[in-house]
Structure 1
């Protein structure tokens, strides 16, 4: 474990296959070593880029594999808290896909488990590891757009498969739980403020929110955003101040959505477009786990940060 972490993936989810398992495979000081899936047919796509991969037929077998140091969990939302606790109690470091839990109570339980066991446990919220958000936070802190006035955000995508787990109330689906962590979390990370929900409404379908609109405020700063699984693909975060503004063009999924870039407008000065080409935030996230475990470096998205975002999500759910 001193030279790197040996990773196992708990389930052959499409996101793990397309994004996170390849990121583990690319990351320095990380080795994608094992996969747990009952469907050997799904394993073939993982073995295509990791031919030495060990396969386990059950999740429990992966958790007891002595040659695995860290587990990545991409299971449906409603299963996250349970399997996080089981993996940590089995002695593994755990990185769990967002949302790591479905309520503040569940996150509080996970914090207690983490502290009792002394194991690494965190949410896979990748914007924490992208340098564009360090730059936004620095500009705001330096007064680069004057006094912050308002923040707006959107994360929308068209989900056309009715059988997708995001459409299942039993599995913790809905637009807010799936992608609400992004506008809420990036607002909190960039500003250091904690928003209080003042109003929310949603379009509900089969017990989940297909689209949700939220109004919030943090002191004098207004924050509004919407998330949707029924609208055309769009991502954006806008920070508007007394002396300028910042438009984050691809705030959440740079690369697949568009190039990571900030459009910084300043009163009386030339506009700047600050680019972040070829940054792999998923790879950086995996490497951040290694840095935390092997070097003692602070992890940019601890459970306490996830808890703050979950508090806003809980408030929105109460409002709708």
Structure 2
């Protein structure tokens, strides 16, 4: 699969570009950016990279099969649809939309084009999440009673795109997808209601959100912030055990991927996945789905469910 990247974002240069280059059956062949200096950071690991000066030119490139979109949040829906209409498969950074109903437009464009499109929710491709899903749904910790999720980091830079309201900034759009989507993915359940939410704003964007929800059979609590000491974890608490993921979201960067299982008899088991690159696995899974119709862990319909829950948090916070 021949890939092009729409925009020379730092994240694309540091993580997704190298992942595309390293993935089996994938080749990074093109980049759209008006800044030749930014293109250098990509051609360093992808020699022979074609550089287009604008996004439309990249979409018109017949030598590209798939497009990765790391643009600012408010541009995701429109450029995903444009790429699909140009005949490209599309992997778009999360959040793929800022409202659940906007994902309906993307789903319609996907279906009309016959191409594959997905949100880049990479954690669902990490083996620790497949394992957590197997254990929780398989009854390893008994009946699930409560899920607790936390993700925070400290980013007070007013010039950073995550702190700009006009580009879809905010803690919930940036990292809320993790604490909400992870709980839905592992449990396979959907929220019945968001029962509490406190959402604090600064400069027009949310920088702290603490919320509680009811699922069928269990409760949920979540916290995200872009003004706190970096931390991340998610815990699944059953009536016969506890399963904790200590680096669920930035595995290999924040810390080593580790899953801890504690059960009633006092046993404690630790499973680890050193050296796994979830971005590479995401690219390979995307190609398998796009080219061969393989099952995909995070289809657009799943992403819509996560965004719908985020919309519920915002509504409860107001």
TM-score over 0.5 for the pair: yes
Q: Look up the match of 1:127.
A: 123
Does the alignment pair 1:300 with 2:297?
Answer: yes
**Deviation (angstroms), 1:116:** 1.2
Q: Look up the match of 1:224.
A: 221
Does the alignment pair 1:208 with 2:205?
Answer: yes
Q: Give the Cα–Cα distance (whole angstroms) in 1 for the partners of residues 157 and 185 of structure 2.
A: 32
Q: Look up the match of 1:192.
A: 188
**Deviation (angstroms), 1:269:** 4.3
Q: Look up the match of 2:260.
A: 263
Q: Look up the match of 2:26.
A: 30
Unaligned runs of 5+ in 2: none
Superposed, which structure 2 residues align to 1:16-95 within 5 Å? 16-95=12-91
**Are the counterparts in 1 of residues 83 and 90 from structure 2 also a CA contact under 8 Å?**
yes
Give TM-score, length-normalised by structure 2: 0.98
Q: Give the Cα–Cα distance (whole angstroms) in 1 for the partners of residues 293 and 146 of structure 2.
A: 37
The count of corresponding residues between Structure 1 and Structure 2 is: 316
**Deviation (angstroms), 1:42:** 0.8
Does the alignment pair 1:101 with 2:97?
Answer: yes
Q: Give the Cα–Cα distance (whole angstroms) in 2 for the partners of residues 293 and 239 of structure 1.
A: 33
Q: How large is the RMSD of aligned CA atoms in angstroms?
A: 0.8
Q: Give the Cα–Cα distance (whole angstroms) in 2 for the partners of residues 123 and 85 of structure 1.
A: 13
CA deviation profile, 1:194-216 (whole Å, cap 9, x unmatched): 12211111110111101111110
Q: Look up the match of 1:273.
A: 270
2:287 to 283, 290, 298: 290
2:310 to 304, 308, 313: 313
Give TM-score, length-normalised by structure 1: 0.97
Q: Give the Cα–Cα distance (whole angstroms) in 2 for the partners of residues 317 and 14 of structure 1.
A: 29
**Deviation (angstroms), 1:138:** 1.1
State the secondary structure of the residue aligned to 2:166: coil
CA deviation profile, 1:83-123 (whole Å, cap 9, x unmatched): 00000000000000000011112101111111111111110
Q: Give the Cα–Cα distance (whole angstroms) in 1 for the partners of residues 128 and 22 of structure 2.
A: 21
CA deviation profile, 1:133-186 (whole Å, cap 9, x unmatched): 111111112211111111101110111321011111110010001011101111
CA deviation profile, 1:33-73 (whole Å, cap 9, x unmatched): 00000111111111111121110000000000000000000
Q: Give the Cα–Cα distance (whole angstroms) in 1 for the partners of residues 221 and 188 of structure 2.
A: 16
